[in-house]
Structures are given as C-alpha cells and as structure tokens.
Amino acid sequence: MQSAPKREPSFAEQVGGWTQDGLREIRTLALLLSESLYHSTLGLRKPKTLLPGATALQMMRLGSGALPIVLMLSALIGFTLAMQSGFQLQKYGALIFLADGVGMSMVMEIGPVMTAVILAGRSGSAITAEIATMVVQEEVAALRSMAINPVHYLVLPRFWALSVTQPLLTVASCLAGILSGLAVGVLFFQLSPSNFMDELQQAIPMRYVWQGVIKSVTFAWLIVFISVSKGLNVRGGADAVGRATTACVVNCIFAIILADAVYSFIFYM
C-alpha cells in the first residue's frame, strides 16, 4: 500500500512546535539546575563517587588552560580601547580620564563578559562534546548502572572548577586590559604611570569589582548548566555531538549577554 505523501507543517504548527521545544528545553534546564545545585552543595556529602583530584583536573582543563587566550585578547581589547578613547580625550585635554574609561570598561563589562564568551567557546564546548560523546558511547548509561548519578559525577567537578577559575580569569582579564591601557597611555600619550594609577583607584570603587566578580560567577554557572544539559540530552551519533556543541556555544553566549543586561538593570537602576 502506498502511503500518503507527508504534509508540510503550517506556520502555526511550526510556531507550536518551536514553543513546545522551547518549553521542553526550559523544563530540562530547570530540572538539571535544581539537581546540579543539590549535588554541588548538599550532595558534596555523598559517597566517594569522584576520584581524588577530579575538581583540580577540571580547574586545569577548563580554567588554567584558558589563561593565555584570555590575557592576550583582553590586552588587545585594552590596547584598542585606550587608543580609540585616547585620541578623543586628547582633543578636550582630558587625557587623564583614559584611566577611568579603560578601567571601568574592563572591570564592569569587558572583563567579565569577554572572559565568559571565551570560556563558553573553549570550555563550554569542551564540556558538551565530552559529555555528549560519553552519552553516545554509553558511558553515562554505564555510570547509571553502577548507581552513580551522572549529574553528581559530571556536574560537581565542573561546577566548582568554573566557579573558582572564572572569577580569577576575569580578574586576570581586567588586569591585562588595564595594563595594556596604561602602556598605551604612557607610550603614546605621555601619561605618567603614577597619575594613571591614582586616577584608576578613584574611578573604580570596590563595589564595581565585586559586581564584576558576581557577574563572572553567574556566567560560570550558566556555562556549566547549559553545556552539561546540551551534552546529557544528545540523541544520535557523531553528528548529534557536533550539533549539540554548536548549540551549546550559541545558547551560552545568548544567556551571558541576557544575564549581563539583567545585571546592568539591577546594579545601575
């Protein structure tokens, strides 16, 4: 018997499908979030599922390994910011405010967001690819068969690794950007280093530094939850791993920028 040709879904059906997929994704993420928060805090007292040094290993892989690229990109951004704003400020005889511009931009915005975007691309994609491959090769099923909760085993070390290393990397990023701005100020605009540093101290109260740290920890959590969720929910073979990794990076960057906007509203309203 010949089957009827498959009908293309209407626009309304497509919208319905997307909404359903979106809601399913939010539900999965919410469940994973609650489970992850439990395992990363109260669940720490659980049996010795993790091998000694699992969190330290993830810190090295996900955090320390990103240091060179974070430093390099932040220094380049600091350089560009200082060059562009330096020439504008020079016109008005306000060169000393170069320290304010570079410092505030790096600490409040560029440091946390740039570090998070780099880590989403580097560490988030690595987490998704690793976990998705584990799912495809039945390693996650093997964990379940040994009564090991995959969320406990996979999320806990990565959660703590990024929660600790991302703020440190953010601080390193801010320092690299500011030092690069200082170098531009001294070499191209004849600013004295001591004047630059004095202005910087006045321009950036500790409150801004803490806000940057809070943002960076939030971004770290978003990266971990989204990348683990994308990895654990993969279905299919090698192509599905690739798709999950791409989706992880896109979703992480979107979530980081959205969270940044929310924080801007909370901090500066």
Taking CB under 8 A as the criterion, the residue among 20, 41, 88, 137 binding other proteins is 137
Indicate whether 141 belongs to the interface with other proteins (CB under 8 A): yes
List b or e across 185-207, with b for residues whose CB sees 16 or more CB atoms inside 10 angstroms. beeebebeeeebeebbeebbeee
Indicate whether 144 belongs to the interface with other proteins (CB under 8 A): yes
Report how far residue 54's alpha carbon sits from residue 126's, in angstroms, rounded to the nearest whole number: 16
CB of 10 to other proteins, least distance (A): 21
Q: Is the dihedral of CA 42, 44, 46, 49 positive or negative?
A: positive
Under a CB-based contact definition with an 8 Å cutoff, are residues 243 and 260 in contact?
Answer: no
- Site string (36-65) toward other proteins, x via CB under 8 A: -----------xxx-x--------------
Counting residues that bind other proteins (by CB under 8 A) gives 19
Please identify, using beta-carbon distances, which residue of 142 and 258 lies nearer to other proteins: 142
N-term to C-term CA, the chain? 67
Indicate whether 13 belongs to the interface with other proteins (CB under 8 A): no
Taking CB under 8 A as the criterion, the residue among 120, 126, 134, 252 binding other proteins is 134
Taking CB under 8 A as the criterion, the residue among 2, 10, 145, 190 binding other proteins is 145
Please identify, using beta-carbon distances, which residue of 27 and 144 lies nearer to other proteins: 144
One-letter identity of residue 7: R
Q: Which positions touch other proteins (CB under 8 A)?
A: 47-49, 51, 130, 133-134, 137-139, 141-149
